[in-house]
A and B are shown apart, each in its own frame.
Chain A
Amino acid sequence: MEKVLTKNIRPDLSYVDLNAYEMAGGYQGLRKALVMPPADVVETVKKSGLRGRGGAGFPTGMKWSFVPMAADTPRPKYIVCNADEMEPGTFKDRLLMEGDPHQLVEGMTVAAHAIQADVAYIFIRGEYYLSEERLKQAIAEAYQKNYLGKNILGSGFNLEMIVHMSGGRYMCGEETGLLNALEGKRANPRTKPPFPQVSGLFGKPTIVQNVETLCNLPHIVKNGPEWFKGLSYTQDAGTKIYGVSGKVKRPGLWELPMGTTVRELLEVHAGGMQDGVKFRGLLPGGASTDFLVEEHLDVKMDFTDVAKVGSRMGTGTMIILDDQTCPVGMVANLEHFFAQESCGWCTPCWSGLSWAEKALYALEDGKGEAADLDHLSFITKLCAPGNTFCALAPGAVEPLQSALKYFRADFERHVTEKRCPWRSR
């Protein structure tokens, strides 16, 4: 199995400096991209089938094609890296930023060239101070060797790159909330349309991409779209950094071909469940995805196949639910998080999630009523996509709606027994 994104990452996670990165073939993708017309870079990425790794899986090349490229386009144009990795259970971008920061710098520069951006921002989760430190160092090194700055490698292309640390809100990871935060405003989501490609950061054309997405770019440009497609088991191209957390033997992250099955991830790479606990279900891609259960273990983890069974691959970092953990308690914990992180803008989100949180805690405390289950189910419909302003609430109710489906009996036991069966009396 070919490692692409993680091949330079050292076992001790020490810093990979510019020299080491170049020795391993670094910045070759950028060199190649800079002599290509921007439109050709966009076309290459389109052909590669790369889909956004932040969770939504939007085709990257297509996203870029909406950026106005005419000579009279408003300037500056921006490329923004969404490194605000706040999704519970997700820690893949951290590995890439800490383990091989130049790869991200190169990827961003490739993307910036493709859309002819003038300024690049890396918006990093506030707690990721090591990522900040390493990216700042990598950027400084890149400036010195003219991988950044004016007239990059004599190509005539200019790019300034700036690291920005998040103030710390889940909403900052939402594409447009991030742009507001970057402008120094409250991280509420923005009206779409207009999309950021047309009116984004400071009202100018902007592309926002996830760390892992950007890191793929130098390799795609260097090795071509067909190579990239060939990395995958399925129709969704490339490799994917998968993760597993929960009561498994070896929780962690692995770069594997896109479309690796859930079972392989769980049983081979994560080493199976810890002794004495049994698998009950999993959230495939962070907290805001629907549960999958036993019957789904052979599903291929990619955007298309996971969607077919009623969930989303999301970030591809799974959280495992075992039989010794209360599913209601787990969902209560998640809804607490989402209710707390709701920006408070749209009614279904701020009212629905706070209600759901209270009802779930009531169930956990043995004070649940049968009607609460109906109310929870009602809230999941209230927060359906299209009903809310952004994707936070629809994502937030995904674990809840699927838990109500797969673990209904556990919810009902909380009501009938007037206690949480997992808690000792």
Chain B
Amino acid sequence: MTKFYVDNRLVEAPADQSLLQACLTLGYDLPYFCWHPAMGSVGACRQCAIKQYKDEKDERGRIVMSCMTPVAEGTRISISDPEAASFRASIIEGLMLNHPHDCPVCDEGGECHLQDMTVMTGHDYRRYRFNKRTFYNQHLGPFVHHEMNRCIQCYRCVRYYREYAGGRDFNQYVKGNTVYFGRQQEGVLESEFAGNLVEICPTGVFTDKTLRKHYTRKWDLQMAPSICVHCGIGCNTTPGERYGSLRRIVNRYNGDVNSYFLCDRGRFGYEFVNSPKRIRQPQLRKDGKLHPVTATAALDHLRPVLMSGKVIGIGSPRASLEGNFALRAMVGPERFFAGVADTEHRLTAAMLDALKNGPARTPSLHEVELSDAVLVLGEDVTQVAPLLALALRQSIRQKPFEEVEKLKIPLWLDHAVREAVQDQHGPLFIATPHATKLDDVATEICPAAPDDLARLGFAVAHELDGQLPVVSGLSDGVSALAARIAQALKGAKRPLVVAGPSLNSEPIIKAAASIAWALCRAGKPAGLSFTAPEANSFGLGLMDARPLREAFEAVRKGEAESVVILENDLYRRAPQSEIDELLNTAKHVIVLDSLMNRTASKAEVTLPAGTFAESDGTLVSSEGRAQRFFQVFVPQGDSQASWRWLRDAMLAAGQREAAAWKHFDHIVSALAEAIPALARAADAAPSAAFRAADSKIPREPHRYSGRTAIHAGVSVSEPKPPEDAEAPFTFTMEGYPDQPPPALVPFFWSPGWNSIQSVNKFQEEIAGPLRGGNPGVRLIEPGQGSGAPLAGNIPEAFSRRPGEWLMVPLYHIFGSEELSAEAPGVAELTPKPYLVLGSEDATALTLNDGGEAQVVVNGSRLSLPVRVRPDMPVGVAGLPVGLPVGEFCALPAWGRISKQ
């Protein structure tokens, strides 16, 4: 720690920081714009000016930018110096020259960093009397609204979009006081991370377009800590509700996971909660149609069904641990089946096995950013685990940082670092069947068929450890590549291997583990990161459910008569014929879900499951981190957490053990006790009994308005706010006024800091962990074993078949995930199904880009437009999966393609 003086007070801070960062950590209110904790200092806005003195005797000092000045032993600075304070006010005056006076109608209002900083500096009188410059705005797609007149030229947007997130279709144009930030032409922003502009922009230039469509004031939102449900990464979010509908999602800082950013699926997928397809009441099939009934009627109907025995349950990777556990308890562990495709089930087990038993640790996203050599095997990370891709994009800077440090350039001095580094980047090898959006920063890419990717992996493992089997028949090119990859990983301080189940290939997972373990044996702290397809894939995986196929058999053989399906559209899990057979053969089909889907529409009974915003629950991320989401609002209708429906049904059927599950905490304890792998799940967040200064934590900001008016149209007496016995939160603005523990922060706010920048006040150190530690508990840590060489079967080399193509799955951030696909903005960006062919194959088939191809695969015949991608290996074709109109298709699979 370095000692220095702020306004003659002796303070301490780490030496590797700017004075701005240090002062903010120390709790000083120092205004800033262009600086961002994740992006460092560039010295553009000049807002954070302070006085620096040569020594004790220096009384004049000189103005310096705190963001550009390093912490140094004995430095004497003043924040309160009148000249510095007046300069800071002058900067605001400059920023305000052109800023419109539209605060009352601006959708940033109430959480505008510019407003906060203006008040902080004391600038309150306008002297400039000339015209303001104006701009045309651009249509940037369904997510981000553009209002350029509000721009204060802080350059955060362009730095974030281009330099941090690697986007190319957004830039700065013109000069002087008319710098324009946008696209060269109007159009949808290409980056999967464009939504972060909404939070990066310190004022209202970039705002959430989905919120605009059902706008509400930020202080009128009811909020609770939540977890994103749209992939396995487990980003922490803050959803906001008003008048019974979910209005938006913003980032909730977690220094280990998503830090300051979300992907666009996570930020804008929430609108499925407001979908007209929502099931909001129990329904019962009568005369071939589902009819709404009361909860009592539904439960009465279920009693004999459940009491008859022969009930099986099918769980879900998108349902909470509690929901899955309740179902497992209802039907018995041996009659509980995983609601995922069998291959995925097997691969999840293999991944968990590798993480639990091997020596390689699965890193947090923050640790991924610090990796200095990475191999991605088989995963299109940007599409399946977007925030992991964003973290990998930062990891490539680690190696060049070593050179930068030799030049004595502090790493937070962002542009100086980028100018020194130029386009050098650390090793990132990407081996996938086709080009991905991370390829632009890859050291080398290796497009190949899944088996060949696994073989490359095993070859790398062999290079690292000669004891491991040789991969026979490799081309010289691939052998040399394997050697280069092994060299890079071996030469790194913190190497990382990324793989996952996307290509449904067990050899790929084994190969990835084999590489990471070989590195561990060589004494490297190698990371092993697997992607998980859904929000609770790993949680379900830890429950030891039986494979889905066995459920089909049980029903087919008559061993089971009733099927309870938890939050799952089974048509996404297995071929239509098999699901049809299951649903037609079973005597009783009971579905709990939040949205009507093909499976629910065939049920005898449907029960309305609360979404993440309407219930409490625990999810286990691909890092193995158990994280709690809390109910944001009390939904309309009868929706409630699935575990509650299951408990009610169990009680109706006389299953007395459910009587103990009065509250959420009880079922969490029950599952922690029943399943050793989940023993620590209860520690994901404090229990409902938690009180801060004898108070619960308010979900509503203290400025929340109109509580007495909301229902005035119905009754002038104010209704009693709903009680929440499940969580330590109130549905009001009354309660503990100060900072709650990190897992219980419903929204970030601090006096004078109304924007998301207030997170500064919740961190132990700026950009470091939250006070009290980042939320969540890791359930999976490496085993004690030293990682004996993994015996994996090395597949044969891919060989193309005449007249047939190996169809590999393609993933889309927008469309491949079930729930977010129901959000209108996401639906707008979801592509229509298509077929990808390599140039050579397309030529051979006389198919052009955009032409129509006939595809026969897994017995289905599809007519699809062709996209020609030069990088697709010969003999391999790509089919997008999970798109709303696409049928389930077990991929990879061999199929035929023809022009007619």
A interface with B by C-beta (< 8 Å): 74, 169, 171, 183, 186, 190-191, 193-194, 198-199, 202-203, 339-348, 350-355, 358-359, 362, 369, 371, 375, 378, 382, 386-389
- Contact of A199 with B419 in the complex, beta carbons under 8 Å: yes
B interface with A by C-beta (< 8 Å): 42-47, 49, 62-64, 68, 87, 90-91, 93-95, 97-98, 127-131, 133, 152-153, 155, 172, 174-179, 403, 407-409, 413, 415-416, 419-422
Closest residue on chain A to residue B400 by CB atoms = A203
26 contacts between A and B (CB under 8 A): A74-B403, A190-B415, A190-B419, A191-B415, A199-B416, A199-B419, A342-B175, A342-B177, A344-B172, A344-B179, A346-B44, A347-B44, A347-B95, A348-B91, A350-B176, A351-B93, A351-B95, A351-B177, A354-B176, A354-B177, A355-B97, A358-B131, A359-B130, A378-B90, A386-B63, A389-B44
Closest residue on chain A to residue B130 by CB atoms = A358
Which residues of the other chain, B, contact A354 by a CB distance below 8 angstroms? 97, 133, 176-177
Closest residue on chain A to residue B422 by CB atoms = A203
Closest residue on chain A to residue B94 by CB atoms = A351
Question: In the complex, which of the residues A186, A198, A354, A386 has the most CB atoms of chain B within 10 Å of its own CB atom?
Answer: A354
Which residues of the other chain, B, contact A355 by a CB distance below 8 angstroms? 94, 97, 128, 130
> How far, in Å, is A52 (CB) from chain B's closest CB?
22
- Contact of B47 with A347 in the complex, beta carbons under 8 Å: yes
Which residues of the other chain, A, contact B47 by a CB distance below 8 angstroms? 347
User: Which residue of A171, A343, A347 contacts B46 across the interface (Cβ within 8 Å)?
Assistant: A347
Which residues of the other chain, B, contact A202 by a CB distance below 8 angstroms? 422
Q: CA–CA, A199 to B179, complex, Å?
A: 27
- Contact of A344 with B175 in the complex, beta carbons under 8 Å: yes
Which residues of the other chain, A, contact B174 by a CB distance below 8 angstroms? 344
Which residues of the other chain, B, contact A352 by a CB distance below 8 angstroms? 94
- Contact of A339 with B176 in the complex, beta carbons under 8 Å: yes
Q: CA–CA, A339 to B421, complex, Å?
A: 32
Q: CA–CA, A369 to B128, complex, Å?
A: 12
> How far, in Å, is B509 (CB) from chain A's closest CB?
39
- Contact of A362 with B176 in the complex, beta carbons under 8 Å: no
Given A199-B409, A355-B128, A389-B43; A343-B175 close (CB under 8 Å): yes
User: Which residue of B43, B62, B98 contacts A191 across the interface (Cβ within 8 Å)?
Assistant: B43
> How far, in Å, is A160 (CB) from chain B's closest CB?
19
> How far, in Å, is B1 (CB) from chain A's closest CB?
24
Which residues of the other chain, A, contact B403 by a CB distance below 8 angstroms? 74
Closest residue on chain B to residue A198 by CB atoms = B407
- Contact of B176 with A344 in the complex, beta carbons under 8 Å: yes
Q: CA–CA, A347 to B47, complex, Å?
A: 8
Q: CA–CA, A378 to B153, complex, Å?
A: 21
Question: In the complex, which of the residues A74, A191, A202, A388 has the most CB atoms of chain B within 10 Å of its own CB atom?
Answer: A191
- Contact of B97 with A387 in the complex, beta carbons under 8 Å: no
User: Which residue of A194, A350, A362, A371 contacts B177 across the interface (Cβ within 8 Å)?
Assistant: A350
Q: CA–CA, A283 to B94, complex, Å?
A: 28
- Contact of A350 with B46 in the complex, beta carbons under 8 Å: no
- Contact of B421 with A382 in the complex, beta carbons under 8 Å: no
- Contact of A194 with B176 in the complex, beta carbons under 8 Å: no
Which residues of the other chain, B, contact A348 by a CB distance below 8 angstroms? 46, 90-91, 94
User: Which residue of A191, A203, A339, A340 contacts B68 across the interface (Cβ within 8 Å)?
Assistant: A191
User: Which residue of B91, B130, B152, B420 contacts A203 across the interface (Cβ within 8 Å)?
Assistant: B420
Which residues of the other chain, A, contact B68 by a CB distance below 8 angstroms? 191
Which residues of the other chain, B, contact A169 by a CB distance below 8 angstroms? 175
- Contact of A346 with B43 in the complex, beta carbons under 8 Å: yes
Given A194-B409, A194-B416; A350-B63 close (CB under 8 Å): no
Q: Which 10 A-B pairs have the closest CB atoms?
A: A351-B94, A344-B179, A354-B177, A358-B130, A191-B416, A199-B420, A203-B420, A350-B177, A342-B176, A203-B422
Given A191-B413, A194-B416, A387-B46; A382-B94 close (CB under 8 Å): yes
Q: CA–CA, A341 to B176, complex, Å?
A: 6
Which residues of the other chain, B, contact A343 by a CB distance below 8 angstroms? 175-176
Question: In the complex, which of the residues B46, B47, B133, B409 has the most CB atoms of chain A within 10 Å of its own CB atom?
Answer: B46
Which residues of the other chain, A, contact B419 by a CB distance below 8 angstroms? 190-191, 199, 203
> How far, in Å, is A71 (CB) from chain B's closest CB?
15
- Contact of B46 with A389 in the complex, beta carbons under 8 Å: yes
Q: CA–CA, A187 to B135, complex, Å?
A: 23
Which residues of the other chain, A, contact B172 by a CB distance below 8 angstroms? 186, 344
> How far, in Å, is A252 (CB) from chain B's closest CB?
33
Which residues of the other chain, B, contact A339 by a CB distance below 8 angstroms? 176-177
Which residues of the other chain, B, contact A203 by a CB distance below 8 angstroms? 419-422
> How far, in Å, is B620 (CB) from chain A's closest CB?
43
- Contact of B177 with A345 in the complex, beta carbons under 8 Å: no
User: Which residue of A194, A346, A371, A375 contacts B45 across the interface (Cβ within 8 Å)?
Assistant: A346
Q: CA–CA, A203 to B419, complex, Å?
A: 5
> How far, in Å, is A242 (CB) from chain B's closest CB?
32
> How far, in Å, is A391 (CB) from chain B's closest CB?
14
Given A375-B127, A386-B62, A386-B63; A351-B420 close (CB under 8 Å): no
Closest residue on chain B to residue A372 by CB atoms = B129
Q: CA–CA, A386 to B98, complex, Å?
A: 24
Closest residue on chain A to residue B416 by CB atoms = A191
Question: In the complex, which of the residues A74, A345, A359 has the most CB atoms of chain B within 10 Å of its own CB atom?
Answer: A345
Q: CA–CA, A382 to B573, complex, Å?
A: 65
- Contact of A344 with B46 in the complex, beta carbons under 8 Å: no
> How far, in Å, is A235 (CB) from chain B's closest CB?
27
> How far, in Å, is B810 (CB) from chain A's closest CB?
34
> How far, in Å, is A339 (CB) from chain B's closest CB?
6
> How far, in Å, is B48 (CB) from chain A's closest CB?
11
Which residues of the other chain, A, contact B46 by a CB distance below 8 angstroms? 346-348, 387-389
> How far, in Å, is A382 (CB) from chain B's closest CB?
5
Given A346-B43, A386-B63; A199-B91 close (CB under 8 Å): no
Q: CA–CA, A344 to B620, complex, Å?
A: 47
Q: CA–CA, A65 to B788, complex, Å?
A: 56
Given A202-B422, A350-B177; A190-B416 close (CB under 8 Å): yes
> How far, in Å, is A159 (CB) from chain B's closest CB?
22
Which residues of the other chain, A, contact B416 by a CB distance below 8 angstroms? 190-191, 193-194, 199
> How far, in Å, is A310 (CB) from chain B's closest CB?
19
Q: CA–CA, A343 to B179, complex, Å?
A: 8
Which residues of the other chain, B, contact A350 by a CB distance below 8 angstroms? 94, 153, 176-177, 179
Q: CA–CA, A348 to B68, complex, Å?
A: 16
> How far, in Å, is A371 (CB) from chain B's closest CB?
7
Q: CA–CA, A382 to B176, complex, Å?
A: 16
User: Which residue of A194, A340, A382 contacts B407 across the interface (Cβ within 8 Å)?
Assistant: A194
Closest residue on chain B to residue A183 by CB atoms = B422
- Contact of A353 with B94 in the complex, beta carbons under 8 Å: no
> How far, in Å, is B321 (CB) from chain A's closest CB?
49
Q: CA–CA, A371 to B125, complex, Å?
A: 14
Question: In the complex, which of the residues B95, B130, B174 has the most CB atoms of chain A within 10 Å of its own CB atom?
Answer: B130
Q: CA–CA, A191 to B409, complex, Å?
A: 11
Given A190-B416, A194-B420; A340-B97 close (CB under 8 Å): no
Which residues of the other chain, B, contact A346 by a CB distance below 8 angstroms? 43-46
- Contact of A382 with B90 in the complex, beta carbons under 8 Å: yes
> How far, in Å, is A34 (CB) from chain B's closest CB?
30
- Contact of B87 with A387 in the complex, beta carbons under 8 Å: yes
- Contact of B153 with A344 in the complex, beta carbons under 8 Å: yes
Question: In the complex, which of the residues B153, B177, B415 has the most CB atoms of chain A within 10 Å of its own CB atom?
Answer: B177
